[in-house]
Amino acid sequence: MNQLDALKQFTTVVADTGDFRQMASFKPQDATTNPSLILKAVQKSEYAPLLKDTVNAYRGRAPDEVMDRLLVRFGCEILSLIPGRVSTEVDARLSFDASATVARAERLIELYQAQGVHTDRVLIKVAATWEGIQAAQQLERKGIHTNLTLLFSFVQAVACGQAKVQLISPFVGRIYDWYKKTAGAAWVEADRAGVNDPGVQSVTQIFNYYKKFGIATEVMGASFRSVGQITALAGCDLLTISPDLLAQLAASEAPLVRALDPSRAQGMDIDAVNFDEAGFRLALNDDAMATEKLAEGIRAFCQDAVKLDQLLLAA
């Protein structure tokens, strides 16, 4: 059995790509997209007609509507290839506007429904800012399920659990990147691998906390830099993995054992915590890595949203 098949025994494997033709060969359960992945996909020749068809069909409409229709078009193509759910992201430029995030999410769901897609097959991705988490809480109450992304800290995860969001996506690789860059020449890769990887440690802490206190929010590790990070989180609810790393897992027959276990977490000595808005903002501010990576991630997604706007206008 290869490592990919072994991983699927205790973790739901999710394809992290907008290239739906590439993902089909790995047979993932779910798939995730974001503006950066869609931007990358539409610049490939095989997807250019999809962009042009969408623009031609809705020429003259507001740019944000055309973008949403393109995202839903990709999402529908992906859903034709997978049995589970697709995550579609609200424009990152709304990351600090809860009411606008709710409105945009509702429109995305309406567009999916118009294509015959049931609400349960879509997760609306929202940045895990305070405003994003409050928007997600409102959406969940309306029966619209959410995926809180750009999550780098325990405080963000706790607040998401309090809001009863469907799923969170803690970013393993970007946490690792920050600690490695900060350490500079003092970084020793062998000493910070596997369970000692700071990104792996972050997701493990969140997973154990959720399972200890019966928090139903799903944990989906994301943003991986290596197969080692993935195997160190085997047993996590879900892992969203790029095609390159999926291929490496499929090509390896090295042993793979479960690393995270809900029953083991339930016996751990962990204190329950709770955050209001002021406490959330203070705790996030105290975490330099999370503060920097959240801001950086929102900036990058906003920049790619602008580029996608420009491509749509030029098509």
Q: How much is the pLDDT for 48?
A: 87
For residue 187, give both structure tokens: 């970084």
Q: Which residues contact 287 (CB under 8 A, 6 or more apart)?
A: 152, 153, 155
Q: Which of 27, 44, 52, 125 is catalytic?
A: 125
The CA distances from residue 302 to 34, 174, 312, in Å, are: 11, 17, 15
Residue 230 carries which side chain, given as an amino acid letter?
I
Q: How much is the pLDDT for 1?
A: 93
- Cβ atoms of 250 and 129 within 8 Å: the answer is no
Is the pTM above the cut of 0.85?
Answer: yes
E strands, 118-188, where? Answer: 122-127, 146-151, 167-170
What are the pLDDT digits (tens) for 129-160? 999 999 999 999 999 999 999 999 999 999 99
Which residue numbers in the chain have pLDDT < 70?
none
Q: How far apart are CA 302 and CA 269, in angstroms?
A: 40
- Cβ atoms of 220 and 239 within 8 Å: the answer is yes
Alpha helix (H) residue ranges in 63-171: 63-79, 98-114, 130-141, 154-162
Is 180 tagged catalytic? Answer: no
Alpha helix (H) residue ranges in 115-147: 130-141
E strands, 158-253, where? Answer: 167-170, 218-221, 238-241
Comparing CA positions, the residue from 188, 190, 222 lying closest to residue 203 is: 222
- Integer distance in angstroms from the first to the last C-alpha of the chain? 46
Q: How far apart are CA 283 and CA 188, in angstroms?
A: 28
Q: How far apart are CA 143 and CA 102, in angstroms?
A: 12
* CA torsion angle 198 200 203 204 (round to 10): -110
DSSP codes, 249-309: HHH----------HHHHHTS--------HHHHHHHHHH-HHHHHHHHHHHHHHHHHHHHHH
For residue 80, give both structure tokens: 């034709």
Domain boundaries, the chain: 3-310
- Would you tell me how many other CB atoms lie within 10 Å of the CB of residue 224? 24
Comparing CA positions, the residue from 104, 116, 100 lying closest to residue 71 is: 104
Second CATH level (architecture) for the domain 3-310:
Alpha-Beta Barrel (3.20)
What are the pLDDT digits (tens) for 106-135? 999 999 999 999 999 999 999 999 999 999
> Which region holds residue 11: left if phi is over 0, alpha if psi is between -120 and 50, else beta?
beta
